[in-house]
Amino acid sequence: MFFLQVNNQHANVSIVLFFGTIGMLALTIGLIVFIIFHQRKVIRYQMTLQKMEYEQQKMLLNASIRLQEEERQRIAADLHDDAGPLLATARLYLNENLVNLDKTTQLQSIYNAKQIIDDTIQLIRNISHSLMPPTLKNFGLESAVNDQFQKISSSGSINASCRFHDYKERLQSDNELIVFRIIQELINNILKHSNASFIHLTQNNNGNKFYIRMHHDGKGITQADFERMNKSSAGLGLKNIQSRLKVLQGRIFFEKDASQTYYKVTIELNREENL
């Protein structure tokens, strides 16, 4: 209404002013609306990522708790089924009537009880070693892996070899244990599922990165399989590997060799963070 009252000689100025103002306001409002919607989109994307990460962490945590429970059950079973009966038998040999028996029988009973107690000691030592390998604790990852591979190789069913190219500086002892457990889990998987005839492990450093690579000629998995299994409820061992690597802030890659003959698993760690 007001804009219609302008004089004809200033009509152009008025038109520029009127449409210019409308245009500027439309541009500004359009820009503001765009920014709001863009930001909402970004937030929505971030929330989806967060939700996925949260679910992944929840899965890893569940896997780690389940694995811990399984380990406890195994130790409990070992103690209950093996150590328990052994000690009960030793107790039978050393009962109160022993003093009333003749000397030869007494000596025989004591000898038997001693044998059983020795067996029990060995059993407990084995359990303890499975919990924390003494070679790893005393001599480090290289010796522990060598030891493990020698044991596998000596079984005769599979050829296992390993070589550490550059391991002068040891990782922190806690981190060595985590890496050792990951290697154990990977070996376990290869032995259980791959039907491989050999496993070869190499260790290398490249700048700030620490690499462990395993080759085998059996049936393996690729990165896509690994990620799929990580997202599903299956693959407890793989989830355990993933959660252990998360502690080390490391990465793992599963791939098939370019020749399509071998499967490779590469573990990558930052040396500075783990030394």
Partner 1 sequence: MVNYFLYITHITGFLPLLVFLFNLKENRNKSIRVIIYYIVYSLINEGILAFLRSEVYKGGKEIEAIIVASFTILEYFFFAFFLYSSLNNKRNKKALQIGSIIFGISSILNLYSNLHSSPKIEVFDTLTVSISAITLIVFCLVFLFEKIQKPEIGFIYAKKSFWIVIGIMIYFSGTFFLFLQYSELSEKEQENFWIINWFCIIIKNIFFAIAFYLPEENSNSIPDNASELFYLNDQD
CB 58 to partner 1: min, Å: 15
CB 65 to partner 1: min, Å: 25
CB 52 to partner 1: min, Å: 12
Please report how the helices 141-154 and 173-189 are oriented relative to each other, as an axis angle in degrees rounded to 10: 20
CB 17 to partner 1: min, Å: 5
User: Cα angle vertex 155, ends 152, 159, to 5°?
Assistant: 60
45 or 111: whose CB is closer to partner 1?
45
Q: Are 171 and 187 in contact (CB under 8 A)?
A: no
43 or 65: whose CB is closer to partner 1?
43
CB 242 to partner 1: min, Å: 25
**Which of 248, 250, 236 minimizes the C-alpha distance to 65?**
236
6 or 75: whose CB is closer to partner 1?
6
26 or 77: whose CB is closer to partner 1?
26
Cα–Cα distance measured from residue 275 to residue 270, given in angstroms and rounded to the nearest whole number: 9
Q: Give the interface with partner 1 as residue ranges (CB under 8 A).
A: 1-3, 5-7, 10, 13-14, 16-17, 20-21, 24-25, 27-29, 31-32, 35-36, 38-40, 42-44, 46-47, 50-51
43 or 107: whose CB is closer to partner 1?
43
